[in-house]
Structure 1
Amino acid sequence: MEISLEFSGGAELLFDNNKKHDVILPDQKEKWNIKNLLVWMKDNMLRERPELFLQGETVRPGILVLVNDADWELVGELEYEIQSKDRIVFISTLHGG
């Protein structure tokens, strides 16, 4: 399944400093949701300091997640069933000073 992942607000620094990644998720028995996408991202994409992106099984507070331009809270958060061609955006609102 092909999806687009985008990062901004500094989150891209944890993913090879690339803001956009077109990825193909491997086939699996269970349907893809954001919860198992985050595990896949940690294992396959996250290059450094996972603690700045993940906290437990979800994203850290301060990281906004949009699914097709809608707040993930409106579509089911971790349980949202990912569809082919979805665009998932992670925006860090945390800034050092």
Structure 2
Amino acid sequence: MATINVTVQMSGGMELLFSNQSTHKLTLPRFYDPSTTIHGPSPPSSKPEPREDGQGSKETDVRFLVWWLRWFALEDRERPELYSQGETVRPGILVLINSTDWELEGELDYVLEEKDEIVFISTLHGG
């Protein structure tokens, strides 16, 4: 089955939400079905299996990555609002795709490519 390998970096305090790990090497399915993942039952019962392109499939994008991180990497699943709101990250989190602001890359619709690096940086700090 088709998969894709990406690196996710967390900084600025984001790593505290993800088991104090700043780097995550992920193998994700190359295609996903939004009706059984993002718009499916919450929380999902298991990680989605890699699938071939077909009816109802979408190429893995940042929207799927945000969803996947929320359900399978976030340490405190009882408080997902610390990381995301709806399909996107909460305000105050800067997202870079291969060192470029995600706004220039299409934000949630950016289709992930092999060996992409996605960085999540919290810009909110207590004081």
TM-score under structure 2 length normalisation: 0.73
**Residue 93 (structure 1) shift:** 0.4
Q: Which runs of 5+ in 1 are unaligned?
A: none
Q: How far apart in 1 are the matches of 2:28 and 2:112? A: 10
**Residue 60 (structure 1) shift:** 0.7
Larger helix proportion, structure 1 or 2? 1
Q: Which runs of 5+ in 2 are unaligned?
A: 30-49, 52-56
Q: How far apart in 2 are the matches of 1:84 and 1:43? A: 22
Q: How far apart in 2 are the matches of 1:44 and 1:52? A: 15
Runs of 4+ in structure 1 off by over 4 angstroms are none
**Residue 45 (structure 1) shift:** 0.4
1:23 matched residue in structure 2: 26
Q: Which has the higher contact order (CA 8 A, sep 6+)?
A: 1
Q: What is the aligned length?
A: 97
TM-score under structure 1 length normalisation: 0.95
2:54 matched residue in structure 1: none
Say whether residues 1:90 and 2:93 are aligned partners.
Answer: no
1:50 matched residue in structure 2: 80
Residue 7 of structure 1: SS of its match in structure 2? strand
Aligned-residue Cα RMSD (Å) equals 0.9
